[in-house]
C-alpha cells in the first residue's frame, strides 16, 4: 500500500480528503499553510524515497524516513508500561531517601516526595497526550514541531547530555555496590565496570525487541522487590521483626516529624530550610519516568500503550514511593546513628535507610540480599540509560540537529553510530578507579538533576504550545485516545514549580561557612547550557515561536489512525482467543497482572 493510499483510506481525516481532492477548497485556518507545505514535501519525499518492497507494503511508514534510518516498532504495550515505572526505580529511591530522612525528618520527606510526584504526574500526562496523538522521535521532535525549533535543539541536547552522563554514573554506582562484598583493595573497580559495560552493550546491540523483553523482566523484578520491601517495613512497624519492637509512629514523636537543617539554623526557619533542601533528592528519585516519551517511537499501537502507561504511573507513584517512604519514616528516626553513618557511605546497601530498618530489627542476612537487589536496580538503570542515550542522539539527527550519520540504523533498527558514541561516553566511568569515586558519583547526580528538570520544563512548555494549537485550530479533544487530566492548568502548575525547584535546588551552598563552588557549578551548569543552546540556535537559524494556527497537527497522523484501528481489531481477536483457550497464563496475566506489570 502506498503512502497516498494510506492517507486517503476511510479512516483518514476529512482534512486529508480535502487536500487530495482538487475540487474542494481548503480553509487555511482549518488546514494551515505550513502544514499543507509540510505534508506535500513529506509525500513527495516518501513516495520517491520509499522504493523498497518492505516500504511499499508497510502502511505505517508515513514517517519521513527511509529504511536505513527507521527504528523498528516492535515493543509491546506491557514493555512500554513497565519502562515508565522501571526507569525511575533505582538508587534515588533506595538510597537517596536516606539523605532526605536524615536532613528533614519523615513528614517533610513524605510531603516533598508526594509534591514532586504530583509534578511528575502532570508532566507525564502532558507528554502522554502528545505522544499518543502523534508519536515522534524524542522530545526534540515534539518541541520543534509544536513550539520552536530552537527549543527542540536546546531540550534535545540537554536531554542528550543527561544520558551521556547517566550510564557512566550508573557503572560507577555498580562498582561501588560490589565493594560492599569485595573491597577495592582486592579487586580494582575497573574490572566490574568493564564486565557491566560489555553486558549492557551486548543487550543494546541485539535489537530493541530483545532489549524490551530483558528490561520488562528486570523492571518486573524491581516491582516485586519494592512490594516485598513495603510488606517487610509494614511487618517491622507492627513489631513482627526478631526484636518484636512495635514502632508505630514513635519516631514521629521522638526525635520528631520535622528536623532542623543544622545546629546553626533551627526553629521554624530551620525546619523550612530542611524541607526545601530535600526537593533535590525527591527530583532525582523520579528522574526517568519520562522515558515513555522515548520508547513510544518503537512501540506498537502507541494510542493504546501510552495512555495505559501514563494512567498506571499515578498508582505506582502512590504505592512504590509514598507508601514505602511513609513506612520508612515510621521504622527509622532521623537521628538514628546507623542512618547518620549511612550518609557517609557510597551507593551500596550500607548507604540505604531501608537496610538501617532491617538491621535495627535484628535481621542479619537480609542486608546482603538487599545489596544484590540494589545491584540489579543499578544494572537495569544502566541498561535503559544507554538505550535512551542512543535514541536521544538519533532523534536529534532525524530532526536535522545532529550529523545525519547518527540517524543510520541497521537491519534490526539499531542506530549503531549513535549507540557507538554513547558507549564512548560510558568510558567516563573509569574515573571511579581513583579513590574519589563516591565524590565523582555525587557530582554526576547533581548535574543529572538539573538536566532532568530542564527536560521536564521543556515537555510542559511544548505541551502548552500543543494545547494552544489544538484549540486554535478547532480540534475536538474528545476524539483523542488520551487527554491529560487538568490539561493546561495542570501543566502551568507543574511548570511553575519545576522552574522554582530548578532555581532553588542547591541554595544550601550559600548557607555554610564556606561557599561550596563545586556543588554550585554542578548543580546549576545545565541552566546556562540550556539558554546558550536556545538563543544560539535562534540567532544562527533565525527561528521563531510557531504561531498556533501554523502548528503542524496532521502530518503522520493518518498512519497512526490506521494503526489504532488495526490495534482494536487485534484486541478483539486476542479477547476471543483468551475466551476460547480458557484460564491459561495469558488469561491470568490479562486478569490480574496487567495493571501491575
pLDDT of residue 107: 94
The DSSP letter of residue 289 is G
pLDDT of residue 417: 93
pLDDT of residue 157: 93
Whether the per-residue pLDDT at 69 is higher than 80: the answer is no
pLDDT of residue 300: 82
pLDDT of residue 17: 36
pLDDT in tens, 98-108: 888 988 999 99
Whether the per-residue pLDDT at 276 is higher than 70: the answer is yes
pLDDT of residue 538: 94
pLDDT of residue 455: 93
Whether the per-residue pLDDT at 318 is higher than 70: the answer is yes
Out of 32-36, 278-282, 577-581, pick the least confident.
32-36
Is residue 554 within 8 A of residue 52, CB to CB? The reply is: no
- Higher local confidence (pLDDT), 140 or 60: 140
| Exposure letters 195-222 (e unless 16+ CB within 10 A, then b) | ebbeebbebbbebbbebbebbbebbbeb
Rounded to whole angstroms, the Cα distance separating 252 from 229 reads 21
pLDDT of residue 535: 95
Whether the per-residue pLDDT at 479 is higher than 80: the answer is yes
Q: With CA atoms as reference, report the closest residue to 146 among 447, 550, 419.
A: 550
Residue 347 confidence class, pLDDT cut points 50, 70, 90: low
Whether the per-residue pLDDT at 88 is higher than 90: the answer is no
pLDDT of residue 433: 67
Is residue 470 within 8 A of residue 134, CB to CB? The reply is: no
| Phi, then psi, of 251 in degrees rounded to 5 | -70, -15
C-alpha triplet 293, 127, 566: angle, nearest 5°: 70
Whole-angstrom CA distances from 86 to 216, 290, 333, 359 are 8, 11, 28, 27
Whether the per-residue pLDDT at 494 is higher than 90: the answer is yes
Rounded average pLDDT over 27-46: 43
Grid coordinates of 283: 527530583
Domains of the chain: 71-555 (1.20.1740.10)
pLDDT in tens, 404-427: 999 999 888 899 999 999 999 998
Rounded to whole angstroms, the Cα distance separating 548 from 552 reads 9
Mean per-residue pLDDT over the chain, rounded: 81
DSSP output for 96-109: HHHHHHHHH-HHHH
pLDDT of residue 79: 83
Rounded average pLDDT over 207-213: 87
pLDDT of residue 435: 52
Whole-angstrom CA distances from 290 to 15, 83, 124 are 32, 9, 6
pLDDT of residue 62: 54
- Higher local confidence (pLDDT), 351 or 502: 502
Residue 95 confidence class, pLDDT cut points 50, 70, 90: confident
pLDDT of residue 44: 43
pLDDT of residue 442: 65
pLDDT of residue 241: 86
Is residue 204 within 8 A of residue 298, CB to CB? The reply is: no
pLDDT of residue 345: 64
pLDDT of residue 509: 81
Is residue 415 within 8 A of residue 157, CB to CB? The reply is: no
Whether the per-residue pLDDT at 264 is higher than 50: the answer is yes
pLDDT of residue 294: 82
C-alpha triplet 153, 159, 165: angle, nearest 5°: 135
- The CA R_g of the chain, rounded to the nearest whole Å, is 25
pLDDT in tens, 141-151: 999 999 999 99
- Higher local confidence (pLDDT), 555 or 574: 555
pLDDT in tens, 4-17: 343 334 433 343 33
pLDDT of residue 42: 45
- Going 83 to 84 to 85 to 90, the CA torsion angle's sign is positive
pLDDT of residue 390: 93
Rounded to whole angstroms, the Cα distance separating 419 from 394 reads 9
DSSP-H helix ranges across 21-61: 33-49, 53-57
pLDDT of residue 137: 83
- Higher local confidence (pLDDT), 550 or 69: 550
Is residue 215 within 8 A of residue 86, CB to CB? The reply is: yes
Rounded to whole angstroms, the Cα distance separating 41 from 55 reads 18
Q: Which helix (H) or strand (E) holds 361?
A: helix 353-361
Rounded to whole angstroms, the Cα distance separating 299 from 304 reads 10
150: Cβ–Cβ under 8 A, 6 or more apart, which residues? Answer: 534, 535, 537, 538, 541, 543
| Phi, then psi, of 488 in degrees rounded to 5 | -70, -25
Out of 47-56, 172-181, 217-226, 438-447, pick the least confident.
47-56
Whether the per-residue pLDDT at 138 is higher than 90: the answer is no
Whether the per-residue pLDDT at 316 is higher than 80: the answer is no
Grid coordinates of 213: 523483553
Q: Give the whole-number percent of the chain exceeding pLDDT 90.
A: 31
Amino acid at each position: 500500500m502506498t503512502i497516498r493510499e494510506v492517507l486517503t483510506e476511510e479512516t483518514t481525516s476529512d482534512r486529508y480528503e480535502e487536500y487530495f481532492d482538487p475540487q474542494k477548497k481548503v480553509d487555511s485556518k482549518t488546514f494551515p499553510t505550513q502544514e499543507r507545505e509540510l505534508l506535500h514535501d513529506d509525500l513527495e519525499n516518501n513516495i520517491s524515497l520509499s522504493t523498497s518492497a518492505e516500504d511499499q507494503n508497510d502502511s505505517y511508514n508515513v514517517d519521513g524516513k527511509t529504511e536505513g534510518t527507521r527504528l523498528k516498532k516492535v515493543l509491546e504495550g506491557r514493555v512500554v508500561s513497565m519502562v515508565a515505572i522501571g526507569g525511575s526505580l533505582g538508587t534515588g529511591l533506595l538510597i537517596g531517601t536516606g539523605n532526605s530522612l536524615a536532613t528533614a525528618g519523615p513528614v517533610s520527606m513524605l510531603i516533598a516526595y508526594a509534591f514532586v510526584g504530583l509534578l511528575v504526574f502532570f508532566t507525564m500526562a502532558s507528554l502522554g497526550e502528545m505522544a499518543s496523538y502523534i508519536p515522534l522521535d524524542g522530545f526534540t521532535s515534539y518541541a520543534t514541531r509544536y513550539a520552536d525549533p530552537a527549543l527542540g535543539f536546546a531540550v534535545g541536547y540537554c536531554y542528550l547530555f543527561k544520558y551521556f552522563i547517566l550510564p557512566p554514573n550508573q557503572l560507577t554506582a555498580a562498582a561501588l555496590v560490589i565493594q560492599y562484598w569485595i573491597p577495592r583493595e582486592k579487586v580494582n573497580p575497573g574490572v566490574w565496570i568493564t564486565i557491566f559495560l560489555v553486558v549492557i552493550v551486548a543487550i543494546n546491540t541485539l535489537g530493541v525487541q530483545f532489549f524490551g523483553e530483558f528490561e520488562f523482566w528486570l523492571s518486573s523484578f524491581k516491582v516485586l522487590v519494592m512490594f516485598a520491601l513495603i510488606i517487610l517495613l509494614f511487618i517491622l512497624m507492627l513489631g513482627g521483626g526478631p526484636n518484636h519492637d512495635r514502632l508505630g509512629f514513635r519516631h514521629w514523636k521522638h526525635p520528631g516529624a520535622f528536623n532542623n537543617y543544622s545546629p546553626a539554623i533551627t526553629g521554624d526557619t530551620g525546619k523550612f530550610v530542611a524541607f526545601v533542601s530535600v526537593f533535590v533528592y525527591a527530583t532525582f528519585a523520579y528522574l526517568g519516568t519520562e522515558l515513555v516519551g522515548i520508547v513510544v517511537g518503537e512501540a506498537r499501537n502507541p494510542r493504546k500503550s501510552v495512555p495505559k502507561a501514563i494512567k498506571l504511573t499515578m498508582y505506582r507513584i502512590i504505592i512504590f514511593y509514598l507508601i514505602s517512604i511513609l513506612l520508612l519514616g515510621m521504622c527509622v528516626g532521623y537521628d538514628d546513628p546507623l542512618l547518620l553513618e549511612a550518609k557517609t557511605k557510597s551507593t551500596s546497601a550500607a548507604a540505604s535507610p531501608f537496610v538501617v530498618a532491617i538491621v535495627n530489627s535484628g535481621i542479619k542476612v537480609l542486608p546482603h540480599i538487599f545489596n544484590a537487589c540494589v545491584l540489579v536496580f543499578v544494572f537495569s538503570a544502566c541498561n535503559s540509560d544507554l538505550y535512551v542515550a542512543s535514541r536521544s542522539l538519533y532523534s536529534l539527527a532525524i530532526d536535522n540537529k545532529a550529523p545525519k550519520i547518527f540517524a543510520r540504523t541497521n537491519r534490526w533498527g539499531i542506530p549503531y553510530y549513535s549507540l557507538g558514541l554513547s558507549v564512548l561516553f560510558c568510558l567516563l566511568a573509569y574515573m571511579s578507579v581513583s579513590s574519589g569515586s563516591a565524590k565523582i558519583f555525587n557530582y554526576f547526580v547533581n548535574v543529572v538533576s538539573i538536566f532532568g528538570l530542564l527536560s521536564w520544563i521543556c515537555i510542559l512548555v511544548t505541551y502548552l504550545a500543543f494545547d494552544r494549537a489544538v484549540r486554535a485550530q478547532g480540534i475536538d479533544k474528545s476524539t483523542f485516545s488520551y487527554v491529560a487530566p487538568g490539561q493546561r492548568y495542570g501543566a502551568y502548575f507543574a511548570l511553575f514549580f519545576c522552574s522554582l525547584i530548578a532555581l532553588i535546588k542547591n541554595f544550601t551552598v550559600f548557607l555554610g561557612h564556606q561557599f561550596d563552588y563545586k556543588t554550585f557549578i554542578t548543580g546549576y551548569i545545565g541552566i546556562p547550557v540550556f539558554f546558550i543552546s536556545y538563543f544560539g540556535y535562534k540567532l544562527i537559524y533565525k527561528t521563531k515561536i510557531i504561531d498556533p494556527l501554523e502548528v503542524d497537527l496532521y502530518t503522520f497522523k493518518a498512519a497512526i489512525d490506521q494503526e489504532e484501528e488495526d490495534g482494536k481489531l487485534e484486541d478483539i481477536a486476542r479477547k476471543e482467543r483468551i475466551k476460547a483457550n480458557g484460564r491459561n497464563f495469558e488469561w491470568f496475566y490479562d486478569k490480574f497482572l496487567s495493571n501491575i506489570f
